[in-house]
Every structure is written in C-alpha cells, then in structure tokens.
Amino acid sequence: MALYVIPGTVVAPGQASAEHIVQMQVVLVDLDGGDIAAKRAHLVRHLGPPSLEVASGGVTPEGQAKLHLYWRLTEPATGEDLATVCRLRHAIAVKVGGDPAFRSAHQPIRVAGSVHAKGGQPRLVAILSSGGADRDLTEFAEAVLAMPPLAGVGSEVAPDPAEDPLDFNGAGRGEVTELFAQVVREGGADGLTRFEALSRIIGYWIRRCQDGFVTAAQAWQEIQDYNAARISPPWPEDRLRQEAERLWRRAEASHPGTGAGEPDQAVAEGDGPGDDGPLPVGFTEDALAAAFSAQHGEDWRHVAVWGAWLTWTGTRWEREGTLRAFDLARHVCRAAANRANNARVRTKLSQAATVAAVERLARADRRHATTAEVWDRDPWLLNTPAGVVDLRSGALAPHDRALCMTKITTAAPRGDCPAWLAFLAQVTGGDAELQAYLRRVVGYALTGVTTEHALFFLYGTGANGKSVFLNTLTALLGDYATVAPMDMFMATSGERHPTDMAGLRGARIVTSIETEQGSRWAESKLKALTGGDRITARFMRQDFFEFTPQFKLLVAGNHKPAIRNVDEAMRRRLHMVPFTVTIPPARRDKRLPERLLAERDGILAWAIEGCLEWQRVGLRPPATVLAATDEYFEAEDALGRWIEECCERGSQHSEATAALYASWKAWAEASGEFVGSIKRFSQTLSARGFSPHRTSAQRCFIGLRLRANTTHSEIEMEF
C-alpha cells in the first residue's frame, strides 16, 4: 500500500498543516524527472553524500529510478529555522530540476518500505544507502548558496530576493553582486529587465540593513546610486521609491523589529528606527574568528583528521574534550555583542550558530591548523613533569611547546628504587642477567624507535609478579602507556574497528594481560605491529590518518598462545620472558603495588639507565630467555615435528607434493594440529628451504622424502 508522511514533527497526532509543524531535521529533494543520475551526481559533488537515499518506486520514461535524497541535520530545526529548511528544499529543487512542491513544510513524501503502485505495477519504496554525515544547518545553507544550477535545467520558481534572507544565487540567475558591474537596459536587452535588476538590488540592500551592516539611509543611498549608474535609462526617483517602500514594508512584516525602517524615514531622519549607526566590519564571523586566533593562537592547535583541539598546559599539548574552544569562541562573540549598538546584531552574535561558525572558521586559521604528523614525532624525546629527557644521552631540557608533545609520564627521573630492585630480585629468583635484560627492555620501550621488531611475552602460572611488573610500568609512563585488549593480538573471526588502532598513536608501551587457554597469535597482525610499517586508523566519526608506530608490545599470560606458522619472522620477534617463581601466600605483599608506585621517580631513572645500556649493547637476551623461546617454538612447530618423524632430508632427495601433503594431513589430523590447504603447505615448505620442482608428470619438492617405512595408514595407527 502507498504510505506518506510529513518529514517533520507536528504538535499533536492528526494535525498536518504547515502551522502545526514544530520541528524538521532533514533537508530533502525529490528527483522525479530528467537525468536522475546527473542530478544526483551534481548534488553529491556540491552538498556531499546524502544521509539517506531512497528509490521512490517511480521510473522515468528513460528508465531511471526516481530518487528521494535526504540530508540529516545535526539538530532539529525549530522556529525561524523551519522556514530556512523549506527555502533550502525549494532552492535545491530549483537548481537541479527537482519537485518544487517541497517548499511547503507540510508536503508529504512516500515512506521507505511502502509500495508505489502508480501505473498498475507495484514497486517497493526501498532504501538504497544510508550513513552520510549529519550537517549543520548554517553550513549546509552556505553549500546550497554556493552550488551552481545544473547546466540545462530551467527554473520555474525562483526565490524572491526581497523576502528570502538566503541568496541562492537567484536559483539560476547568477550572483546578485554580479549586477553591480552590469549595465541593464530597458526592454530586457541584457537578459533581464530593469525591474528584475532593481528588485534584486533593493532586496540585497534590505538584507544588508536588516543584518546591521548598513543603516537604512546608507541602503537607500546605495539603491539610488545603482539606479543612476547601472540602469539605462534610470528609473524616476518616485517610481524607485515606490518599489523600495513596497519591498521594505514586506521585509519589515516578515522580520518585525529588525530596525530596517523605510526609505522615506531614512531620508528624513538619517537613520532607520532602532539603528544606532553603521556596524563595524569586526562583527562578521570571519573577523570574530580572527579575534579568537589573535587571543589564543599561541596556545591552541587543531588537528582536522582527529576532529580535536589541543591546548598547551605548560608541560604538554593536551587534547581538549570539554568543548573549551567553543566556550572561548562564545566569550569572543559575547564581548562583540556587548559592543554592538544594534539589537538585531547583538541577538545574532549571541546565537549558538554564530559561535559555532566562529569556532569552525578558527580551526582553519594557520595559527591553529596542524596535521597529525607533527605531533610526538621525535622518538628519542620523553616528556616528564621535570622536563624533556633526551634518551640518547639522558639529558634533561625545559618543556617546549615547539616540540609538539602530547604525552607526559607521571614520574620525573630522580632518586633510587630499592623496593623495585628487591621485587625484581624476588620474581627472577635472583637471576642478575635476567634483571639486567628487563632493564634494557624497559629502557628500549621508553623510546619511540622499533628497530628491534620485538614482542615480549611474560609467562608464568600465576602469583609470580608479571602483572605487577607491567602495571607499574603502565602507571609511571602515564600517557605513553596504553592497555590493549588481548584479542587485539589474538586470531579472531572478525576484523577490529580501526578506532582501536587510533588509540595506539604516540604510545611507547602497549601492555595486555591474561591470555586465554587455547588462544592463538594473530601472526600477520603481530608482524605488522612490530615491523615499523605505517598504520592507518581513525578516531570515532573522524577521517582516517596514518602514523608510524612507536610502541613496544609487552604481553603477560598464564597460557602460551598457539602459533601456526613457525617462521623466521616470528622467531626473530618473539621473546619468551619467564616469570616462573611463584610467591608463596605467606610472602605476598598486598601493599606492594602502592610501595612500588611511591618509587616511580627512581624506577624511571633506572629505566633511563637501561635505555643507555641498550644503545651500547642491544637487548642481549640471557640464556633463560633464549632457552624459553626455543622451547616454545619447538613445541609449536608442528611441521618441523612431522618432518623429523616422517621425512628424510638430503639434497638428492625428492618427493611428490601430493604424497607429502597426504602424509602431513594424516599426521596433523591424528595429532590435533591445523592442517591447512595444500597451497599453504607448499608455501611453508618453500619458506623452510625446500625447493619446489615440476616434472612433466607431477609437482614435487627437492631436499626431502618420506621415510620408506612410514605409510599413511601406519601414521594413523600410531595415534
């Protein structure tokens, strides 16, 4: 069945006249004829993608589906803004040849999900797409204003410039300001009549007067000057005055109390009623934005791709999350309103739309606008409450806004840390080499360089200090440390949202605690995260940006995640750090985390010494770490165990790929290992140095063969 609604909110059910509509939150256009695709493309190019696109069910004679396009507003339009929405709907329709009926607020439209049954052939009214960004009414009106008419599309109805506060380029007649330089002769010899030109010029100066930019006397003088200079022959003054008074009265009736006055009053009194004189240019949104930047240009920056302001605190650039920049813009507008003499201008300067426009314009000011790449870009600097540490030397320098640092630790490097050293001695079982290695690991993690391409996995069965170790580092590193969910590094069935990665920008340490039994590393993701390649991410509802990772991954767990592809890349990256000393209940100190944090300054100084040592000798993992890592990979290397049990190596040996895969498949299934495809199996053998070869009869691998006394059935029977 056909179903229609009015795209707005009415006072009460059953009321559907224009005067009953109190809210509208969409601007829409009905494209019901002509080249629909060209019209849609024109609108998207100039206004942006619609929030909702609906196939209305109708079809043009040329076979194109008729469309309803909706642009959702950031907040419902009410009061006088309702008229603006209606004018926008009409102007869009006029500029692209849409249905002009939607200038009426109460014009109904088909509902998606209903049925279009005209012509005897039912068609579903269907949603084609949704999800475009919400639009600010003022910004959207500016976009409509700037949008040129679609070439070849006529205009049956154009907005009357004398009653419409928005100049929509005359909906196809060109900018009104173009008339300032054009001579208009009688009889329409120049494409428009003298009446049309003067009506538009009068409307223009009425609006300028209503907005407080000129007085009524100045507006009337401009109208007279234009008539004398550009109208050929000029209108007699009495006729010009009669037309100006008519349009002026209509404007005053539409916008009472604006102080527009009338031309005769202006000539007699010198100023319109309620107008205290010409308004300074400093009250425009652009001028107010310039005033904002003059006051706050030193301490405020804006990053467009983050959609965020940053403010200088004296020690770092802090991301602002309380709309403080908007509040500062409001103070600028409020101060301007207090200086204004015109009541209408004071009201306009106090509106949220004006404040928002000033804040938006300020974002683009070169004193504020920055790119994401400039922030936290020096990987060798560490910001602390005491100053900026150069990790190449350990030297401390004063804070500097020019360094563009958004992160800061909670500790300043000074003093010693006896409780921390005692804790390390306890959890390592007194292993001095392991303690020194941990200091080098933490020192390396202070930097933003990732040359080691390492992942550190702290494992142990519980009550062994690994969580206390990581939690203490996370606390003292402050903004430089991030805690990530474990499934970010584990193989899962779905993709994680790119906003998860955005939170890792600028971090030096990313920790994750508690692996689940049966979990498996997401190997390709780990290689990407530790390889130093740039990462693409975005914050919620913001544009994508790229950053070079600076973080080191430190993961702790009681269970070792499985790994499918034991290759050289993973062997090179993974450091298995044993925390195998279980602290007996009688010796567990519940206040240990608190006591360690009391030494955070000394722990940071200890870590900086570790950084300097790492630069001299590298990570240099001790024998315990190397042995634990080798043991882990040996246990996880299912393919390696199959080769040892079922194959013989030799440069003269060869075996058919199909036979090798059949043997592997039987062995893996019996052992409970992942089988994979024959393609993956072949790639893994190649990566291990076995050479693929193809004869006229079959594919084979050179360098190994199946053991003569091992058959597939025997392999299955062994288990």
Highest mean pLDDT (candidates 173-187, 552-566, 611-625, 666-680): 611-625
Span of 107-121, 166-180, 364-378 with lowest mean pLDDT: 166-180
DSSP bridge pairs for 521:
490
In degrees rounded to 5, what are phi and psi of residue 676? 80, 175
Structure tokens at 5: 């609604």
- DSSP codes of every residue in 555-576: EEESSPPB-S---HHHHHHEEE
Span of 8-12, 295-299, 303-307, 392-396 with lowest mean pLDDT: 8-12
- Does residue 558 surpass a pLDDT of 70? yes
Q: What is the pLDDT of residue 481?
A: 93
Asked if residues 97 and 91 have their Cβ atoms less than 8 Å apart, the reply is no
Report domain extents, the chain: 4-159, 175-269, 281-370, 418-634, 637-718
Asked if residues 97 and 34 have their Cβ atoms less than 8 Å apart, the reply is yes
For 495-515, what is the mean pLDDT? 75
Q: What percentage of the chain carries pLDDT values higher than 70?
A: 85
Question: How far is the C-alpha of 217 from the C-alpha of 462, rounded, in Å?
Answer: 86
Q: What is the pLDDT of residue 12?
A: 66
Indicate the helix (H) or strand (E) that contains 288. Answer: helix 285-296
- Does residue 694 surpass a pLDDT of 50? yes
Indicate the helix (H) or strand (E) that contains 651. Answer: strand 647-656
441-469 pLDDT, tens digit each = 999 999 999 999 999 999 988 789 999 99
For 411-424, what is the mean pLDDT? 97
- Does residue 407 surpass a pLDDT of 60? yes
Question: DSSP class of residue 696?
Answer: S
Q: What is the pLDDT of residue 265?
A: 43
DSSP bridge pairs for 302:
309, 369
Structure tokens at 416: 């010693």
- Does residue 258 surpass a pLDDT of 50? no
Q: What is the pLDDT of residue 264?
A: 45
| Residue bearing tokens 């605190």 | 313
Q: What is the pLDDT of residue 706?
A: 92
Q: What is the pLDDT of residue 266?
A: 42
Name the residue with higher pLDDT: 413 or 214. Answer: 413
Structure tokens at 18: 């224009």
Question: How far is the C-alpha of 15 from the C-alpha of 11, rounded, in Å?
Answer: 7
The SS3 assignment for 708 reads: coil
Q: Identity (one letter) of the amino acid at 237?
A: E
User: What angle (nearest 5°) sits at the alpha carbon of residue 243, between those of residues 240 and 247?
Assistant: 135
For 248-273, what is the mean pLDDT? 51
Q: Is the dihedral of CA 650, 651, 657, 658 positive or negative?
A: negative
301-321 pLDDT, tens digit each = 999 988 899 999 999 999 998
Name the residue with higher pLDDT: 477 or 528. Answer: 477
Asked if residues 532 and 548 have their Cβ atoms less than 8 Å apart, the reply is yes
For 345-369, what is the mean pLDDT? 92
| Residue bearing tokens 């899962």 | 492
In degrees rounded to 5, what are phi and psi of residue 227? -60, -40
Asked if residues 332 and 283 have their Cβ atoms less than 8 Å apart, the reply is no
Q: What is the pLDDT of residue 11?
A: 65
Tell me which residue of 392, 364, 335, 414 sits closest to 139, measured CA to CA: 364
Question: How far is the C-alpha of 446 from the C-alpha of 424, rounded, in Å?
Answer: 19
Question: How far is the C-alpha of 67 from the C-alpha of 58, rounded, in Å?
Answer: 8
Indicate the helix (H) or strand (E) that contains 86. Answer: helix 81-96
In degrees rounded to 5, what are phi and psi of residue 432? -65, -35
Structure tokens at 134: 């919400």
Question: How far is the C-alpha of 571 from the C-alpha of 575, rounded, in Å?
Answer: 8
Name the residue with higher pLDDT: 583 or 293. Answer: 293
Angle, helices 216-230/194-210, rounded to nearest 10 degrees: 160
Q: Identity (one letter) of the amino acid at 652?
A: Q
- Does residue 155 surpass a pLDDT of 60? no
Give the predicted TM-score (pTM) of the model: 0.57
For 208-218, what is the mean pLDDT? 73
Per-residue confidence band for 270, with pLDDT thresholds at 50, 70 and 90:
very low
Question: How far is the C-alpha of 83 from the C-alpha of 21, rounded, in Å?
Answer: 11
Tell how strand 647-656 and strand 699-706 pair up: antiparallel
The SS3 assignment for 378 reads: coil
Per-residue confidence band for 161, with pLDDT thresholds at 50, 70 and 90:
very low
Among 3.20.20.80, 3.40.50.2300, 3.40.1710.10, 3.30.70.1790, name the CATH number for the domain at 4-159. 3.30.70.1790
The reply to whether 418-634 and 637-718 are identical in fold is no
For 573-589, what is the mean pLDDT? 90
The SS3 assignment for 87 reads: helix
For 135-160, what is the mean pLDDT? 73
Question: DSSP class of residue 660?
Answer: H
Q: Is the dihedral of CA 473, 479, 480, 481 positive or negative?
A: positive
Q: What is the pLDDT of residue 173?
A: 42
Question: How far is the C-alpha of 186 from the C-alpha of 584, rounded, in Å?
Answer: 104
What is the chain's mean pLDDT, rounded? 83
What end-to-end distance do the CA atoms of the chain give, in Å? 66
Asked if residues 220 and 267 have their Cβ atoms less than 8 Å apart, the reply is yes
Question: How far is the C-alpha of 99 from the C-alpha of 433, rounded, in Å?
Answer: 80
Asked if residues 632 and 409 have their Cβ atoms less than 8 Å apart, the reply is no
The SS3 assignment for 184 reads: strand
Asked if residues 46 and 74 have their Cβ atoms less than 8 Å apart, the reply is no
| Residue bearing tokens 């709309």 | 323
567 alpha carbon, distance to own chain's centre: 36
Highest mean pLDDT (candidates 99-108, 109-118, 133-142, 445-454): 445-454
Name the residue with higher pLDDT: 3 or 231. Answer: 231
Asked if residues 27 and 84 have their Cβ atoms less than 8 Å apart, the reply is no
Q: What is the pLDDT of residue 178?
A: 67
Name the residue with higher pLDDT: 107 or 223. Answer: 223
Q: What is the pLDDT of residue 415?
A: 95
What distances in angstroms separate CA 510 from CA 460, 488, 554, 576, one per listed residue?
19, 11, 6, 17
Question: How far is the C-alpha of 592 from the C-alpha of 165, rounded, in Å?
Answer: 69
As a CATH number, domain 418-634 is 3.40.50
Span of 266-275, 309-318, 533-542 with lowest mean pLDDT: 266-275
Question: How far is the C-alpha of 247 from the C-alpha of 171, rounded, in Å?
Answer: 19
Span of 76-80, 177-181, 481-485 with lowest mean pLDDT: 177-181
Name the residue with higher pLDDT: 200 or 22. Answer: 200
46-71 pLDDT, tens digit each = 898 999 999 988 888 888 889 999 99
- Does residue 274 surpass a pLDDT of 80? no
| Residue bearing tokens 């906003």 | 499
Tell me which residue of 54, 81, 86 sits closest to 70, measured CA to CA: 54
As a CATH number, domain 637-718 is 1.10.10.10
